Chain A
Amino acid sequence: MEIYGLGIVAFCMYIGSFAGYFIGKLLGVSGNVGGVGFAMLLLVLLSNYYETKKGGWSERTQNGILLLSALYIPIVVAMAGIQNVVAAFSGGAVAFLAGGIATIGSMLLVPLIGKLDKDETIE
């Protein structure tokens, strides 16, 4: 059933966020530290475990999860719409410089790390 898929993601989010808030408390940061990442990892482990042990979740259960991931971009669009863009506009140079330089720099690292792999295969 579709609701099972939604429920599985909800379960992962609660467990992951529990870990996130727990680490937050330990670090003295108020908030959810890495909870989303933990939840994603948990979902990867759970889905792969079911895949190998029980042949995976039923198609309808999967549909519940796929519905959510299909909503991810629209939700990001809505999220962009509720930001304080007017205030951000005054410091817009930061966004352009940070985004632009990080992207171009990362691309230049591609052949470097690609090479590192080839060297290790030869060894």
Chain B
Amino acid sequence: MYMIGEIITTLFSKFPLVGAIGAVAIIMAFSYWFANLIGQKRMGSAIAIVISLALAFVAGKTTGGAKGISDVTYFSGFALLGGSMLRDYAIVSTAFGVKLENLKKAGLPGVVSLLIGVAFSFFVGVIIAVALGYNNAVDAATIGAGTVTFIVGPVTGTALGASSEVVALSIAAGVVKSVVTMIITPLIAKSIKLDNPTTAMVYGGLIGTTSGVAGGLAATDSKLVPYGAMTATFYTGLGSLICPSIGYMIVKMFL
């Protein structure tokens, strides 16, 4: 028995990345199964993220470490799979399939909504962060960026050298946004006139979290999904571009 345990430990320490991929696959399979069960198919990825954050919480409590699941020997591969190198590599690839003519078609309302959307979420996040005691410009900008999306938060945090605690907060803010979007969109669609392609594009540009927008629109009117997703695709890129640069500089002027 001891020998078998030893071999299993060897497997996890020799192939950490493969182990992490397998573990994430299991988390996602469970999340999508659960999402289907509660009739919210598109919430699968949001649920998987919440489960992962919960596991990181449990791991942090038991190991006392600061790197979540990756502090558990068996799951050290999470640090490779979820590290900034592969994350940025994968994010860049999502720009593939964006058509220049669609970029032009979204036109003025799309561009206006993107700029206002990123700036609005960023500064709401910054103001709330400062109001609750995160007075340091790096912390406030990272939390503000997380309020933009859960990708922009860690990208900004890494660029500015924020602590893992603040990066985790920024991801949590982005996840809250994504989940709230999926739940609230179908409820208030009528009152915000979300019933035609133009407002769907504006909506995608203002909210920006691709999973939230796709999920929320699918629950409202599936015909609107591509229009919202079209502008939402640019949101994370725009946020990654301006939050750690212009955004941070503006925050730094006030703090």
Contacts and interface: CB of A to CB of B under 8 A. Distances in A.
A69 to B, nearest CB: 4
Given A78-B81, A85-B57, A98-B124, A108 B237 contact: no
A43 B87 contact: no
Interface size on A, as a range, is: 35 or more
Interface residues of B, number: 112
Contacts of A81: 24, 52-53, 55-56, 59, 68-70, 75, 78, 82
B249 A65 contact: no
Given A77-B49, A80-B49, A113-B116, A103 B94 contact: no
B28 A74 contact: yes
Most buried by A among B155, B166, B241: B241
Given A37-B237, A102-B125, A65 B93 contact: yes
18 contacts: A23-B245, A29-B160, A30-B161, A47-B96, A68-B90, A69-B90, A80-B175, A82-B70, A82-B83, A84-B66, A84-B168, A87-B165, A88-B168, A98-B146, A106-B121, A107-B188, A111-B199, A113-B112
Interface of B: 20-21, 24-25, 27-28, 45, 48-49, 52-57, 59-61, 66-70, 75, 78-79, 81-83, 86-100, 103, 108-109, 112-113, 116-117, 120-121, 124-125, 128-129, 132-134, 143-144, 146-147, 150-151, 154-155, 158-161, 163-169, 171-177, 180-181, 184-185, 188, 192-194, 198-199, 202-203, 206-207, 211-212, 237-242, 244-245, 248-249
